[in-house]
Amino acid sequence: MRGSLGRDKGKDHASANDHRADAGMNLRHIEVFHAVYANGSVSAAARALNVSQPSVTKVLQHAETLLGFALFERTRGRLVPTQEAHALFNDVADIQERVYQLRKASQNVKRGRGAMLRISTLPSLGLGALPEAVSRFLAAQPGVGFELHTVHHDDMVRKLYERETDIVISYEVPRAAAVASRRLGRGEMVAMFRTADFPDASARLTLDQLRGRPFITTVESGPQGRALSAEMARLDVVLDEVVASRTFFVAAALVRAGVGLTIVDSFTAQASLTPDLSIRPLDPPIGFDVHAVYLESRPLGKLADQFLKHLAQGLHA
């Protein structure tokens, strides 16, 4: 009987522990765990959180009690995350980021900035077109906040799905994704070169006219690069490639440095133009559309719609 009671008490004790573990970590536990993991020590975490070391230690121990396993082990005077801590950290970091965004949103509301537009753009549009549109928009809507990011084509769908951004300004619309889009304008590929290196350049340049000149290739740079590659193959044109760049503004910088000429999108070219550089459209032209891409499940609000009109006007200009 006594042994049976002992087992029953053990079951009750285990059940109580399970209940505590099921309670899980609250936001304070998450904040402290994230700080200790990211900073590598209790003292550094305490400084980052502006609290005392005993407070951090207490919260961390409480979190470990709730979870039922250790998050850190002390090895040679250092705190080392356990395998369980590594497994938890990505989810905890995501929650911490969401809490940060919530705090930022509440601060915006407190300051009278009740709206936030989160926009990602290709680097080429981030050099001139997007900043100019933001400037014009804020002149008309000074209470709106912006969070701006650069993004590459391969990463845009993930950023939309994971809610890292609300709108992506892109040169193509992903076909297989649950997204909607709005066409904002049109651009074209242009040759960019130092004027002194090509003083007799015609108003439009054929790819054939670029033969024999040092060429900074951008054929691996997203949909425009693929379009350029296809056109070169169609015309059976092979250029003297000296450097390959996957980024248009790096290619433009190489032109400024005297490495050679390149072909980039018209927005990068305009934003990178200096008095000693020239640009020419191609003959035949290689054009492309500019789109605003967003999730079908999150249609554009009024402010986003107004901003995109400002951006479209700038692209047309």
Least Cα distance to 140 among 302, 308, 317, 306 occurs for 306
Q: Kind and range of the H or E element at 155?
A: none
pLDDT band (50, 70, 90) for residue 74: confident
Lowest mean pLDDT among 22-26, 55-59, 98-102, 196-200: 22-26
CA distances from 84 to 5, 80, 87 (A): 34, 11, 5
Q: What is the pLDDT of residues 77-111, one digit of tens each?
A: 788 999 998 988 888 888 877 777 677 666 655 54
Q: What is the pLDDT of residues 5-32, one digit of tens each?
A: 333 433 343 333 343 334 578 888 988 9
- What is the rounded average pLDDT of the residues 244-265? 94
Q: What is the pLDDT of residues 33-45, one digit of tens each?
A: 988 998 888 999 8
pLDDT at 113: 47
Query: ∠ CA 221-223-226 to the nearest 5 degrees?
Result: 75
Cβ–Cβ under 8 Å, residues 309 and 133:
no
- What is the rounded average pLDDT of the residues 244-271? 93
- What is the rounded average pLDDT of the residues 206-224? 90
Strand-strand pairing, 261-265 and 240-244: unpaired
Is the pLDDT reported for residue 189 higher than 60? yes
pLDDT at 155: 82
Q: What is the pLDDT of residues 121-179, one digit of tens each?
A: 988 888 888 999 999 999 988 878 888 988 887 788 888 887 888 899 998 898 878 89
pLDDT at 21: 37
Beta bridge partners of 105: none
In 3-state terms the chain splits into helix, strand, coil percentages (rounded to 5) of 50, 25, 25
Q: How far apart are CA 53 and CA 61, in angstroms?
A: 12
Q: What percent of the chain clears pLDDT 70, i.e. is strictly above it?
A: 89
pLDDT at 128: 86
pTM for this entry: 0.63
CA distances from 147 to 101, 128, 270 (A): 11, 16, 24
Is the pLDDT reported for residue 192 higher than 60? yes
- What's the Rg (C-alpha) of the chain? 28
CA dihedral 9, 15, 19, 21 (to 10 degrees): 110
Tokens encoding 3: 């042994």
